[in-house]
Structure 1
């Protein structure tokens, strides 16, 4: 079965259950799934029920699509995402983005929790992603290209839509939420980085480091979607002064930052 055929079957299954055509897609990272609970008139579809969809394995990720209205806009939210480190292929990780596009989504807001490498950042900061470094050693577009989905060699020079970087910045200012801007270095995980690796990533221009987002944004660019990326800096990952880190600490900071994060994303959605 071709990739396109599978996508069409997934989309048809979802369309049979919803009457709206969402224009905005949300990918909600660690601890941020609660934003989906604010969607009005929601239709919730478990990943397990959607034909050809991968199924989520990570704690703290619900594993469902929530489709409805947020601030008067029609949205589809992924409550729980897929990661390369779980053993999925890059194509599986990004499959939901393909489905979102075919559902009618033109703008994708992708969120994550990540480590801050820029010494001016603090845990709990929100960072607008301006650009990324794909340090995974892989790419979801490797393999045959289906022209109906996008070009063989997609341009990535403005993968994070510059006008929307400004929009998020202005929205944050309006809400009195301090934000950082920077470059997200995407790695595979599941290990946190060694001190030497962190120094390398910082030396080549990374401001934050995380294990998601880059594959989804590559596929969104392939399909000419507009992209907004926002990271929650949950811990500082500075090679010279590395403290041992646990997943629980990351979740704890994500939870503390959640109210600001949610109000920012909701306000951004209403401005789109």
Structure 2
């Protein structure tokens, strides 16, 4: 991680926004609408921030939004970066490092994912309980800066148990069905083949996507507590006899966005302190 780049990006943001947020949000495909709910919002486009990548995917606005959600100060990434866009994982996770420098202690990571578990349905929301890094790369490869985190971070509880329990309590309170499962990260950008989905199911995967895991690894390295939430936007290849498309992802996230927004709002409103 280039420390100078990190300091320059953080300094630029601090000159534009005086945030006291300790909660961060990363909003995936079709889910960025939640950032529009922030009050007293201050917005910085990614292209304005020194050394920030640019989001190139439909459904990702590419903005950093500062404001209040249910009375809590938050920083929201309205769109993220992906390995398949050509960015190395150090750049994919650069915004998480900036959040670390800005004082974020708890991170909510969301995504749209394909359902691998045959008991799931398109439109389900899934709490991520664990993940499998199937990207063939790792964001912490290279020289380690001990000021950012330890050389060999523990990943045995990559998703904070107390936040998982909090999310389940909130979903029950709202009567919103919530699946739980393991998220598998592939590089993309092609969707998986039916044979690959059968393999991932054997390995213990419940949902598959092309993001999230690099950010979660870096967040754990930075000692953030992480909550992961997937929108099952489609059933993965071979489960249903139909082709897959990004439009289906956007259509499904639009269909369930009210439940998603309602759940995340309650999550944040009653967000517990760090464990």
Normalized against structure 1, the TM-score is what? 0.98
| Cα distance in structure 1, aligned partners of 2:181 and 2:69 | 27
| Structure-2 residue corresponding to 1:267 | 266
| Structure-2 residue corresponding to 1:189 | 188
Change (3 A) 1:164 1:195: same
6-15 or 152-161, larger mean C-alpha shift: 6-15
Matched-pair contact (CA < 8 Å) for 2:62–2:80: yes
Note the residue ranges of structure 2 that are not aligned, 5 or more in a row: none
May I ask how many residue pairs the two structures share in their alignment?
A: 271
| Cα distance in structure 1, aligned partners of 2:178 and 2:89 | 30
Does residue 198 (structure 1) correspond to residue 197 (structure 2)? The answer is: yes
Superposition deviation, residue 238 in structure 1 = 5.3
Does residue 235 (structure 1) correspond to residue 254 (structure 2)? The answer is: no
| Cα distance in structure 1, aligned partners of 2:83 and 2:177 | 31
Does residue 220 (structure 1) correspond to residue 219 (structure 2)? The answer is: yes
Change (3 A) 1:18 1:240: closer
| Structure-2 residue corresponding to 1:176 | 175
Kindly report structure 1 stretches of 4+ aligned residues shifted beyond 6 Å.
none
For the aligned residues, what is the CA RMSD?
A: 1.0
| Structure-1 residue corresponding to 2:125 | 126
Q: What are the within-5 Å matches in structure 2 for residues 95-134 of structure 1?
A: 95-134=94-133
Q: What are the within-5 Å matches in structure 2 for residues 58-69 of structure 1?
A: 58-69=57-68
Note the residue ranges of structure 1 that are not aligned, 5 or more in a row: none
| Cα distance in structure 1, aligned partners of 2:49 and 2:65 | 13
Normalized against structure 2, the TM-score is what? 0.97
| Structure-1 residue corresponding to 2:156 | 157
What secondary structure sits across from 1:206 in the alignment? coil
| Cα distance in structure 1, aligned partners of 2:38 and 2:22 | 14
| Structure-1 residue corresponding to 2:78 | 79
